Amino acid sequence: MAPPIPVGLSIGNVLFFAVAVSAALYLAYRWALPKPLPGIPYDESARNNLFGNLPEMVSMLRNTGKTRPFFTQHTQRHQSALTQVWMGPLTKPSLILSDFRESQDILLRRTREFDRGPWNTNAFNGVVPNHHIAMPSADSRFKGNRELVRDLMTPNFLHEVSAPQIYYKTMALVDLWSLKTKLGESKPFNARKDIFDAAIDIINAVAFGLEDDQSTVKNQIDFLLSKPDFRPTPNADGSVMFPELPTLPTMAAICEIGVHLGEQFKAPFPKMAHRYALWTSPTLAKSIARKDKFLRDEIDKAVVRLRKGESGTRSAMDHILQREMNAAEKAGREPVFHSPRIHDELFGYIVAGHETSASALTWMVKNMADYPDAQTKLRSALRAAYPEAHAEGRQPGVVELWKTQVPYLDAVLEECLRQDGPIPITLREALVDTELLGHKIPKGTAVFLVSDGADFRSPPIPIPESARSPSSREKRLYGSWDPSDMHLFKPERWLKTDEKGNVVYDAQSGPMMAFSLGPRGCFGRRLAYLETRFVLALLVWNFEFHKLSEGLSSRDSYDTITKNPYRCYVSLTKVT
């Protein structure tokens, strides 16, 4: 029989083991804590939290439905144009930059130092992995993809193909709101779905040339006309509701995928979030399958039409397919119409084109009601710009709308985007070890460029000129805003008098990054401006937007791919 182990020895071993484990855990904890970059302000609470700033962002998302204000608040909290944060456990510090001159410099002139990185691409990789927006510039596929779609934003394509589709789909929205205004006796109604439906009709028509039988707005008009005795009953807040025709299955699928894509921008780990959603949501998987079938069917129909030489290029899809046919002929190969890049470029064109324009338009109609003086001035400017249409009691035509300059219309559009841009944050990643405002920045550091805080909507945070990059000091293309009225809605800030005494619109009046800048700025920027210009002009031409109650005019917002208002109601009177 073995002698018993001395009690003292066993307790000593246990204590030694416990101390060793505790020390190891403490050292591991200290090692895992966030490591700040020298000299750049940060939150001490985040520095001592394994999850960094993530808990604060999750709390904000849970309470408000958005996370983007965190970035603006962080720079204001530290009164520093450059701050650092940690987006999760075991992550390197990311930077928040709230200064237009340095942001512009990064986007326009420092593209060899900063580019789109994983923070950009991960959110898109689940839904459109073969779209150029999901690729860094160094990706071997990027150049070919951009070549495939490069002509879609040329003036010729926009005016000859996109503009007519935008016009006719917008006039359908005018007809729908005319009907609702009559039936509802000008009482307020929720305009959000109508705007989003009109935007999806527009982008689908531009992308695929879809006819009216696949127009959600046209079908909704027919549905209301089929109920001649319907009269809406006012709600407690004074608004009225209208019966809605179920959304067409394919359009519903596209919208569901768009919503899912928006959720990826709020997820700390987008790739994992996408896989989890596919696993837990049968409807999402079905929507993706329906989207794939829709793309395949539309491409097949277009190929037959193009090979017969019918109707020429009438959509973005026709143009892309024709480029593939030409490239295949030149290379002596068979064209591949159902390649992943063609499918993803087409679908990305829809989602991005729909989301940004729809979001911008919801804020624009809210601003017309909130700022009646600007609305009245805009309507007068439109009447003066299109005198023949006004005298003849007709709508301005397609060519009139894109060809005639209306400085005040451009100014209102730009001021709406300055106040409530669809995407108020642009993200870049350092490709090399570099410097930013005098601080050493290691390769791989993510930089969030904020475009709705200091310098844009509130006074700039002072920066010593010596701390700026050489190219930022040398080139100053834009003006600056008057700090005393930056918080106001003031379209006049975008106007100036030229040497001939004419009032003209000046796009470089002051800081603006609604669609980013530079070679990796928003690809669909020109299309978005064309669409919002047409829609706003035709809506103000046809309707007076009335001031709403405080509850219905709330400017509270939530985040998806873009920034959206919780409430978007309109009360209209038809203008003659």
Q: Is 522 flagged in the annotation as binding?
A: yes
**Dihedral angle computed from the Cα positions of residues 260, 265, 267 and 271, in that order, rounded to the nearest 10 degrees:** 70
Q: Residue 397 to residues 44, 166, 174: CA-CA distances in angstroms? A: 59, 12, 14
d(CA 81, CA 77): 10
- What is the token pair recorded at 103? 């942001």
Q: Residue 238 to residues 10, 225, 569: CA-CA distances in angstroms? A: 79, 23, 11
Buried b (16+ CB within 10 A) or exposed e, 242-271: beeeebbebbebbbbbbebbbbbbbbeebe
Neighbours of 135 (CB within 10 A): 21
Backbone angles phi, psi at 72, to 5 degrees: -65, -45
Q: Contact 506/500 with Cβ under 8 angstroms? A: no
For 241-254, the DSSP string reads ----PPPPHHHHHH
The distance in angstroms from the start CA to the end CA of the chain is 109
Place of tokens 């998302």: 61
For 392-453, the DSSP string reads HT----HHHHHHS--HHHHHHHHHHHHHS-S--EEEEEESSSEEETTEEE-TT-EEEEESSS
Neighbours of 288 (CB within 10 A): 18
Q: Contact 38/31 with Cβ under 8 angstroms? A: no
d(CA 189, CA 459): 37
Backbone angles phi, psi at 558, to 5 degrees: -140, 165
d(CA 123, CA 62): 20
Full 3-state SS string of 49-70: CCCCCHHHHHHHHHHHCCCCHH
For 539-555, the DSSP string reads HHHHEEEPP--TTTT--
Neighbours of 286 (CB within 10 A): 13
- Give the residue ranges of the annotated binding site for heme: 522
- Give the residue ranges of the annotated binding site: 522
